[in-house]
Structure formats: C-alpha cells, structure tokens
Copies of this chain bind each other. A is one copy, B any other.
Amino acid sequence: MAKYKDIAEAIRTKIMEGDYVPGEKLPYEYALCQDYHCNKETMKKALDILVKEGLIIRRRGAGTFVMDVDPHERQASIFVRSLTERFDDVKVFSDVIEFQVIPCDDFLAKKLQIEEFDFVYHIIRNRYVDERPYSVSITYIPLNIIPNLRAETLNGSLYEYVQNELKLSIQSAHITIKAAEATALDSDFLGVEEGDVCMQEEQITYLQTGAILEYTMIHYTCENYKFSTVMMQQ
C-alpha cells in the first residue's frame, strides 16, 4: 500500500470519527507533513483523495477545510464513491438463482471485448439488504478471467474473492444509470409489476491488466435506489 493512501486513510478516519469537525481548518504546511513524515507532494496526493470523496475542500491561499455534510449523507456518499467500498458488499446477501456457462452472443462479445461464442458465466442473483429484497442482477464474466468459479463463491462477495483469492486488482468500473422496464424476473422478487418503471445500473468492470472482469446489469425498485457522485473540475 502506498504511503499517500495510508495517510488519506488515517485522515479520513479522523474526520469520520469527528476528530476534525466540519468547517474546521486542517493544518497543512509543516504540521501535517511532519505528523505523517512525508513530503509536500505526497501529502497533496493524500488530501486529493479526500477532496474527491467530498470530505474536504482546499482553497489556495486560505487553507484546507472539513466539508460540512451531515454524517449520514457522508457515509452514504463515500459508500458509492469509493470503489473498494462499493465492491465490499459484505452486508449484502445474494441468492444465486441462475449459474451456467454459455457461449456469448454478438451483444455480449462487444460489451466484454471478447469474440462471439467465447464462453462466459451467466449469473443471476437476487440480493437482500437487511433481509429485504433489494436488487436483481445479471452478470456475465468471461470464463478465461476466472476459469473455475463456484456457485458458493457468489453467495459472498465476488469482488473479495477476485481481489483476495485470485489476486486480481480492479482498476475501474464504468457505470451507466437509467430508468428501465421491470422484467418478469424483477416482478417476482422485487414485488413490482412487469413493465413498471425500475432503476437500471449497467456496469463494466476493468482489471488493472486492462481486461474486462464483468458486465453486469442490475435492477432496483425506484424506492431503493440512490446514487451519489462528485465531479471535479480538472
């Protein structure tokens, strides 16, 4: 783990635990660098992470300040903004209702950037949060990325398995959000009528190698869905 990530983690914890209160100015120049035994550039990298998470704001000539958002909102938005947390679905339980290997069609080949008829896992999962139906997800994973996937693995966290067991690093996720019509599959589990409006999240996940790990489409009930993000001026 890089030093700047460790420092970001340490300061994030301090903010979350209220050691730094909203609106408070953080020390920067000497103090922080000395506290964490690092160079100015390294500290900047660390603080930039927290800026992107919306936890702090930096003002040239003025200082660095803790953002004033209420703790509940903060927790929620960090959840969706941090890839690690996004993929740490430890509080989510899944019923695997379909798990098979199929040759992919033209559409999937394009999404996964593989050849038509290459084999992929076809996985459908019903997910619960707090023991209540939460989402229905359809996932496709190229067989050559994970040669021997077991259904049991899918009950837990796929991402934990990929990162901790297979030692593959996730680089990024490209996400598209829109409204869609609920399918028969959705109606059974989510308790909505087929054809009703639901929220759809499409996700393509890239490994650090540049290979595509998965293409996933998730449906949520409108009531369950909320997505937060921060866009930064470059």
- Report A's interface with B, CB cutoff 8 A: 5, 8, 49, 51, 54, 57, 59-60, 62, 65, 68, 77, 81-84, 86, 113, 169-179, 197, 199, 206, 208-210, 222-223, 225-234
Q: Are A83 and B178 in contact (CB under 8 A)?
A: no
Q: Are A178 and B233 in contact (CB under 8 A)?
A: no
In the complex, chain B residues whose CB is within 8 Å of the CB of A86:
231
Chain B: which residue is nearest A54 at the CB level? B174
10 A–B pairs (Cβ distance < 8 Å), ordered by A: A59-B209, A83-B232, A169-B233, A172-B231, A174-B230, A177-B177, A178-B226, A178-B227, A179-B179, A179-B225
Q: Are B226 and A177 in contact (CB under 8 A)?
A: yes
Q: How many chain copies?
A: 2
Chain B: which residue is nearest A84 at the CB level? B233
A171, A179, A225 — which one has the most chain B CB atoms within 10 A of its CB?
A: A179
In the complex with contacts A59-B208, A210-B62, A176-B231 CB distance below 8 A: no
In the complex with contacts A62-B210, A68-B113, A232-B171 CB distance below 8 A: yes
Q: Are B206 and A57 in contact (CB under 8 A)?
A: yes
